[in-house]
Chains A and B, each alone.
Chain A
Amino acid sequence: MEHFFPLNVLWIKERIFNALYAHTAYMKEKRENPGDLLQGTLDLLILKALARGSMHGYGVAEWIHQTSEDILKVEEGALYPALHRLELRGLLCAEWGTSDNNRRAKFYSLTTSGKKQLAQKTEFWRRMSGAVARLLQTA
């Protein structure tokens, strides 16, 4: 039956099914892991990741996976809107360059205000988590 259709229709159909597959998987994942990262937390993690120097999006994702020992599960796709948002806010600057394996990739690095923001946020989190920890210790 399918050979009656012109090629581009088949191509569209494949795209749709790919997209649909990804979408349902995404929805399923979302349902199973309701604990999305807090908005502000993701921003902080990105800033922290980039504190060591410029990095591409994939690198940031990997760093978060590894350093948090996979406890903090970042939806990888969600990383990009966050990166772009930070770039638009002037906390990051971006540059196209070549990756280790010679691919074209976008590298992000902290700006001055990005560094300032990181320091502020880190301080805030430290105080916050300290307070929460103390609260939990008092039996």
Chain B
Amino acid sequence: MLSEWLNKTWLRLKAICKRPQLDRDLEDEVTFHLAMREEKNRLAGNDTEESRYAARRQFGNTTAIQEKNREMWSFTSLEGIFQDIRFALRMLRKNSGFAAVAVLTLALGIGANTAIFSVINGILLNPLPYKDPERIVAMRPNDSPPNLVDIQRETRSFSQGGGINVNNMDYTSGTEPMQVRGGYVNAGFLETLGVPPMLGRIISPEEDVKGGPRFVVLSYPFWQNFLNSDPQVLGKTIALSGNDYTVIGVMPANFVPPREHADVFVSLSAAYPDEASERDLHFMHTYWRLNAGVTLAQARAEMSTMDHRLAQLYPDSETDRRTVFLPLQESVTGSVRPALLVLFGAVGFVLLIACANFAGLLMARAIARRQELVIRTALGAGKSRLIRQALTESVLLAVVGGGAGLLLARLGISLLLSLKPAALDRFNSIHLDAHVLFFVFGISLLTGVVFGIAPAWSLTNLNSAESLKDGARGSTSGQSGNLLRKLLVTAEFAIALVLLVGAGLLIKGFSRLRSVSPGFNPRHVMTMHLQLPEARYAKIPRQTQFRVQALERINALPRVEAAMVMDLPLSPNYVDPRVVVDGGPPVAVGAEPRAQTNSVMGDYFHVMQIPIRAGREFTPMDREGQPLVAIVNEEFVKERLPHRNPIGARIDWARAPEPQRWMTIVGVAADVKDSSLDEPADPAVYTPFSQSEQVWRRWMTLVLRTSGPVPGLVDEVKKQVWSVDSQIPVSDILSMEDIMAVSLAQQRFNMLLLALFAALALILAAVGIYGLMAYSVSQRTHEIGVRLAIGAQRRDVLRLVLREGAKLTLLGIAIGIIAALSLTHLMASLLFEVTPTDPETFAAVAVLLAAVALVACYIPACRATRVDPMVALRYE
């Protein structure tokens, strides 16, 4: 076997060296045979001409046989590929218009796909930077530290578990007071994620106790920016929220907690011993590492038993536990996931349209090259050889298209990143990596082969003699090829309709969302976040003193009205305590409804222009030592005080320590969107800051309404704040309009992208139908000429061409509507107050698509009417 192969290779190598000799030999051999046969035929009594043809007939296709022999003697497969590529390049250079359109079409499709895929790759596919991230699950909803300890002790499913709550801290060891994000964790948190610190160590369970030492683990950016990457940082102390913390470790650069960014990590029990032992303060985001061999379902099952047990033990706070676990990746990407998948589906459709156009172009070219191919077949080219050549050309085009697509994708990604909603902030790993390159390469190759094979195949199904005659007569040739192209264009329209419907629904939803009133007037409102240091503001009166003084000074500035609120609208907070109503229907302990709570100071409702529906606003008289008062929103009245006069009713926090300290409702404010514009307002309770009991809520947001833009306002306000206390960090300086824009960012992102893709689809589909009609008109020039010559009117010709286009368009639209009806429900979660089958949108999109198709067909139709019968009849 081996010797045979060696012999073969040796003979072939020899043959390469004497290539011309070999060619001559092959030719000679055949000629000799033909000559001998011809002679014999002549001897049998035929005339010269006849014996020559008989000899050829008996022999078969000489060129094909010589070609076959030549292939045998050389390394044809390799040589052939280079030859094919060279030939393809030459053909494409000659038909640069065709090549440019094909490459551009594919580049758009592949580029859009690549850009979205790299986002998906960065967010949904790349493993999170933790140890065995697939074994980590996130628990919903949040839980309290004592429950965390119980769950850890009494369940078997988890090897580790831990929680974090990120809150503002002020860092005062630097040059000016800075607000930083403090991650309040328990010892299990960093351990569960399994990322070892870069320097030092993490907080141990022995230190994570009430009265434990104040230790801090730094994040890499914090260590870099505030401590100048000091390698000797371990053991040093830094001041956080007025307390000294000893640095014991620094996390590596790529470490970020799963949900929120944090600059420093401190033990919750050490920082807030009292809150850390409260069972009913469910504020920790918790993460659990599954034991080997435990499935998510098993963990869920065990947890529901645990929920039950906790509910029995602590009916006050744990009755309505419904704990769920999510895979970490899903919990992190939760809100963006459906949007990204819908977008990926959308770009997939764009690619399909691009591919259909590409195939259509190849098809048209194949039909145009019919004669050339017939001749090549006649001259001895094998079927497989021709297919290979055609495929080489389409794959070459696809690969060039893919390369151009990659360039487009780079642009697209930077565009995407500039638009990306805040939810994607933690993902800085969005870029073109090996995965993405592999994806592009694969997709280009697949496109080239799959969409090149039909045209290539159609080339070879030729009956040579018939085709030659056919081509020579110049009739409407290539019926089957045209049918395929028509199918492709119909499919393009169907897909474009689906995309346009999707985009239309999002646009409609978005415009609905934008017209939703947030409940306040965001024009000319500036906001700033302030945080009081813990050590010097441990008591409410001290805090009140700062707030009153600061507000007084800021209100003294010209053209400024200022007030304070704890949490701004549209920025969700997690504290929604349970509220009981005096004289309301009895409620089971632990099942009291929750309400959003907010503390305010100054004329908050007036400044924000939140209408007061009944009663009054707070006044400076509603302060410490005075009767407790509250203002509720309309939703609260509707839910909790139906058929009652809310003014004068009394409410209190559920299970507040005795004796009951009832708050009297003095006013009803209009509803305000507190978490996001697309969710209905929750029941809410406002109380004056000065009557608060929660010392730990030491933060507040300044809201400043001006009559117009005031230059230097921010600096002026800062100066006033610092004139009261120079150690207060001022952060998050945003206008209320910015905050609204941020809250719409995700929807805007979805809408813009889908609209972009739909526009792309529309353009490609229009190009597709234009190409088909233009080609069909040019093919039928002769026929149109005849029609005109025998008396058809220009109008008839126009109608003839338009009717053909209209048929395809309407069929495509009909199919698209059916497809869209079955697909749009997938994006229901992205829509706001629009049903996925919104008839208006469907109708508008169908009309738009039909109009675009009409224009695209009108141009070639017009050209058809200008055909000069005389010229047309002489055509070809």
| Chain A residues packing against B (C-beta within 8 Å) | 16, 18-27, 29, 56-58, 61, 75-78, 80-81, 84-85, 87-90, 96, 99, 103-106
Contacts and interface: CB of A to CB of B under 8 A. Distances in A.
A76 B32 CA distance: 12
A16 B8 CA distance: 34
Contact of A20 (B4, B25, B36, B465): B465
B41 interface: no
A24 B464 CA distance: 8
A77 B53 CA distance: 14
Contact of A96 (B25, B73, B379): B25
B378 A23 contact: yes
Given A77-B65, A85-B72, A106 B25 contact: yes
B73 A20 contact: no
A25 B465 CA distance: 11
Residue of A23, A58, A85, A104 with most partner-chain B CB within 10 A:
A23
B56 A81 contact: no
18 contacts: A18-B56, A19-B380, A22-B60, A25-B56, A26-B60, A75-B60, A76-B59, A77-B30, A80-B30, A80-B33, A81-B72, A85-B72, A88-B11, A88-B72, A90-B3, A90-B7, A104-B32, A106-B28
B737 interface: no
Interface string B23-42: 00100111011011100000
B375 interface: yes
A50 to B, nearest CB: 15
B378 A80 contact: no
A19 B57 contact: no
B465 A24 contact: yes
A19 B4 contact: no
Interface residues of B, number: 38
B35 A103 contact: yes
A123 to B, nearest CB: 20
A18 B73 CA distance: 26
Contacts of B37: 58, 76
A80 B69 contact: yes
Given A16-B378, A90-B7, A77 B32 contact: no
B476 interface: no
B62 A25 contact: no
A80 B7 contact: no
A89 B61 contact: no
A56 B29 CA distance: 9
B33 A58 contact: yes
A89 B4 contact: yes
Given A77-B65, A80-B69, A20 B464 contact: yes
A130 B379 CA distance: 44
Interface of A is mostly: helix
A56 B36 CA distance: 11
B68 interface: yes
Contacts of A105: 29, 32
B377 interface: yes
A91 to B, nearest CB: 9
Contacts of B291: none
Interface string B772-789: 000000000000000000
A90 B11 CA distance: 9
Contact of B60 (A18, A21, A77): A77
B545 interface: no
B443 interface: no
Nearest to B15: A88
Contacts of A56: 32
B414 interface: no
A63 to B, nearest CB: 13
Contacts of B36: 58, 99, 103
Contact of B68 (A22, A81, A99): A81
Nearest to B55: A76
Interface in B277-319: none
A105 B35 CA distance: 11
B428 interface: no
A6 to B, nearest CB: 19
A57 B35 CA distance: 12
Interface string B7-23: 11001100000000000
B614 interface: no
Contacts of B68: 81
Interface in B167-219: none
A84 B69 contact: yes
Contacts of A76: 33, 37, 58-60
B63 interface: yes
A18 B62 CA distance: 10
Interface in B825-851: none
Contacts of B28: 104, 106
B60 A89 contact: no
B38 to A, nearest CB: 11
A34 to B, nearest CB: 15
Nearest to A17: B378
B23 to A, nearest CB: 13
A88 B65 contact: no
A20 B32 contact: no
Contact of A88 (B8, B57, B377, B465): B8
Contacts of A96: 25
Contacts of B30: 77, 80
Contacts of B7: 88-90
Contacts of B11: 87-88
Contacts of B375: 16
B57 A22 contact: yes
Given A58-B33, A78-B60, A80-B29, A19 B379 contact: yes
A23 B375 CA distance: 11
B72 A58 contact: no
A84 B72 contact: yes
Contacts of B4: 89-90
Contacts of A99: 32, 36
A18 B72 CA distance: 25
B468 interface: yes
A13 B306 CA distance: 90
Contacts of B72: 81, 84-85, 88
